Structure 1
Amino acid sequence: MIKVYGVPGWGSAISELMLTLADIPYQFINVDGFDSPGPQRELLEKRNPLCQVPTLELENGEIMTETAAIALMVLDRCPDLAPPVGRVERQQFQRLLVWLVANVYPTFTYADYPERWSPDAPEQLEQNCIAYRKSLYLWLDNHLKAGPWALGEQLTLIDCYLCVMRSWGPRAQWFAANTPKINAIADSVCQLPKLHKVLKDNEII
């Protein structure tokens, strides 16, 4: 069985949703506190020296990190969670999968620990990252399909990202007021009975 090293509500929640949608069994191992010295960090560091979540230990003992790579692994086992190869929607899926991790993720990397990157002006760095993140979400909302899902009629792994990301800063109230498509997609994911336990465990609903 796959072991998912993560923290409730963090990026590991995206992997949990993807695995659950694909009916891939896994064991969740909570490493809350890994970002400070201590036993949780040591536990994670043995598997991923970069100490990032999610970190997956696969059935064969191999280590898998990066949510986009995990998404591709899930698709190898459950292809129906992305548009078929050859469709225009498939290209858009690929674009958004990389776009989310390449553009949105770094705003959390720097804004969550601004003192690491800008010790002389941490507050300014945090504010700039949050403002940029909001601009990214506004752009994304304008480029999503009309619904009910990010790419139209088919539920895909992209929808897992949007559901979890809405629970992060700038928080659900901002999304409801500024990004109606993202907000509606996240609502739709939260209504899937199959995902209720994972969503509750991660305090998303």
Structure 2
Amino acid sequence: MIKLYGAPGWGSAISELMLTLGGIPYQFINVEGFDKPGPQRDLLEKLNPLCQVPTLELENGEIMTETAAIGLMVLDRCPELAPPSGQPERQQFQRLLIWLVANVYPTFTFADYPERWAPEAADTLRSRCMEYRKTLYLWLENHLRADPWALGERLTLIDCYIAVMRNWGPRGEWFAANAPKFTAIADRMCEQPKLQKVLKDNGII
């Protein structure tokens, strides 16, 4: 069985949703507190020197990291969680999968621990990252269909990102006021019976 090292509410929640949608069994290993020195960090660091979550230990002992890569692994086993090859939605799926981790993720890297990067201007870095992140989400809002899912009628792994990211800054109230399609997709994800346990365990519902 896959071992998923993560922390409730962190990016590992996205991979939990992906695996759950695909019906792929996994064991969740809670390493909450990994971002500070201690036994949880020591445990994670042995598998992933970057100490990032999610970190997956696959059935064959290989280590898998990065949510986009994990998503592609899930698609190898469950291709129905992306639009079929040859459809226009397939290219948009590929684009958004990489866009999210290449553009939105770095704003958390710098804003969550601004003192690491700009100790003399930590508050400024945090606020500017947040404002930039808002512009990214507004761009994404204009590229979502929400009829009923991000790319149309088919629920895809992109919807997993949306369900979790709504709980991160700038949080639900801002999304409700500025990104109605994003909000509607997240709401629908939260209604999926199959996902209830994962969503509750991660404080999303």
Normalising by structure 2, we get a TM-score of 0.99
SS in structure 2 of the partner of residue 27 of structure 1: strand
Q: 1:191, 1:95 → 2: CA distance?
A: 26
Q: Which amino acid aligns with 2:201?
A: D
Q: Partner of 1:127 in structure 2?
A: 127
Superposed CA RMSD in Å reads 0.5
Whether contact under 8 Å (2:31, 2:41) holds in the other structure is yes
Q: Partner of 2:68 in structure 1?
A: 68
Segments of 5+ residues of structure 1 without an aligned counterpart are none
Q: Which amino acid aligns with 2:161?
A: Y
Q: Partner of 1:92 in structure 2?
A: 92
1:112 aligns with 2:112: yes
Runs of 4+ in 1 over 3 A off after TM superposition: none
- Matches of residues 46-195 of structure 1 in structure 2 within 5 Å? 46-195=46-195
Q: Which amino acid aligns with 1:147?
A: D
Q: 1:119, 1:2 → 2: CA distance?
A: 39
Q: Which amino acid aligns with 1:48?
A: N
Q: Deviations over 1:32-85 (max 9, x none)?
A: 111111100000000000000000000000000000000000000000000001
Q: 2:22, 2:104 → 1: CA distance?
A: 24
What percentage of residue pairs aligned between the two structures are identical?
79
Q: Partner of 1:37 in structure 2?
A: 37
Q: Deviations over 1:82-140 (max 9, x none)?
A: 00011110000000000000000000000000000001100000000000000000111
Normalising by structure 1, we get a TM-score of 0.99
Q: 2:131, 2:13 → 1: CA distance?
A: 24
Q: Partner of 1:4 in structure 2?
A: 4
Segments of 5+ residues of structure 2 without an aligned counterpart are none
Q: How many corresponding residue pairs?
A: 205
